[in-house]
Chain A
Amino acid sequence: MSAVLFFIAAIGVISGAVGVVVLRNPFYSVLALVAHLLSLAVLFLLLRSEFVAAVQVVVYAGAVMVLYVFVVAYVGGEGESVGERLHGAGRGPAGSQLRLGGAILGGALLVELLIALLGTGLEATSGYGAGYVPGPQTYGTPAYIGKLLLTRFLLAFELASFLLLIAAVGGVVLARRRGGIGEADASSPEGEHETFVPLDLLRPRGTGTTAEGVGAVLGNGNGRHPHADQAPRSHSETGAEQPS
């Protein structure tokens, strides 16, 4: 029974991976990756790691893939046509040579990995793993993983959370609306008599605050600027798209 389930899941994993690499449309590639991840969760369950399988389904196939689908829906339509056009223009000997070279390198990598993993004569790889006794505290359960994460691997856990924080800040900075910086630069020659706000040293200009969203420029909130209602200010919302 477990052998049948393994082969079904392994076929799902490998065909999903082939689909990601081969399919033209990025949206179909994302869907193939979802199938791949779900089959991989079945393999994790067969390896008695229930918590990692659940995390795989919830985090990867749930959250990360939804993010991918959003970005493909945002970018994909136009990007696909551009990519197809460039691809059609470049489909000569260079494209086929690239594909052939990639396939040869991938095959060489596969042979090398198989030699490294299987050909070294590790006796334990031909076994079925260590003994397994089902229970609430045994190997692979959430209680076991949680105890390991909070005792022995506490430093890795904290570093991972710090890395997530850095990535969240980086994502906000990368995907913010451009143009706030250009607007701030354009208003700097006439704004030399503005009062010095210490918070501006810490805060980059134009990072998508609510005041920017309604058209007010940062630094006018104190009400001391005399030209606050003139034309460049009121057009800041539409002009924000231009400098990018």
Chain B
Amino acid sequence: MSIAWYLTVSAIVFSLGAVGVMTRRNPLVVLLCLELMLNGGNLALIAFSRMWGNGDGQILAIVVMTVAACEVCIGLGMVVAIYRRQLPIDVDELRELQG
């Protein structure tokens, strides 16, 4: 398959993730949709890396995976902290992040 097909799939996945971030209210699902957007970016990076035939895009994809793991760590820690303080798990209700 040509590279354009992979780029199309990555654009569709990125847009679906953006729709999820905009419409869902549970912060866990918002984090999952952020993962979708990062995966769309990863697929485009690897497709371009295949297009040029060198590994720079793959290195950048691995760095993106590292950043995604850090974001999951911090985000899930915040969700657990919100749950412990018995605040509503809803991004429309959570308007402030102070201590």
Which residues of A come within 8 Å of B, CB atoms? 2-3, 6, 10, 13-14, 17-18, 20-21, 26, 29-30, 33, 36-37, 40, 43-44, 46-49, 51-52, 55-56, 59-60, 63-64, 67-68, 71-72, 74-76, 79-80, 82-83, 86-87, 90, 98-99, 101-103, 105-107, 109-110, 113-114, 117-118, 124-132, 139-140, 144-145, 148-149, 153, 156, 160, 163-164, 166-168, 170-171, 173-175, 178, 244
Contacts and interface: CB of A to CB of B under 8 A. Distances in A.
B7 A20 contact: no
B58 A20 contact: no
Contact of B22 (A102, A110, A171): A102
A13 B24 CA distance: 20
Interface size class of B (residues with CB under 8 A): 35 or more
A131 B53 contact: yes
A244 B23 CA distance: 31
Given A20-B36, A43-B9, A175 B77 contact: yes
A149 B65 contact: no
A110 B11 contact: yes
Nearest to A244: B85
Given A130-B53, A171-B76, 4 more contacts: A113-B14, A118-B7, A167-B74, A170-B77
A49 B52 CA distance: 13
Contacts of A37: 39
A166 to B, nearest CB: 7
A167 B4 CA distance: 36
A50 B2 CA distance: 18
Contacts of B42: 40, 52
Q: Is the interface of A mostly helix, strand, loop or mixed?
A: helix
B51 A127 contact: yes
A130 B33 CA distance: 32
9 contacts: A33-B35, A52-B46, A68-B76, A83-B26, A83-B89, A87-B25, A105-B19, A113-B14, A148-B56
A18 B16 contact: yes
B53 A118 contact: no
Contacts of A117: 4, 7-8, 10-11, 44
Contact of B46 (A44, A118, A132): A44
B12 A17 contact: yes
Contact of A40 (B3, B22, B43, B76): B43
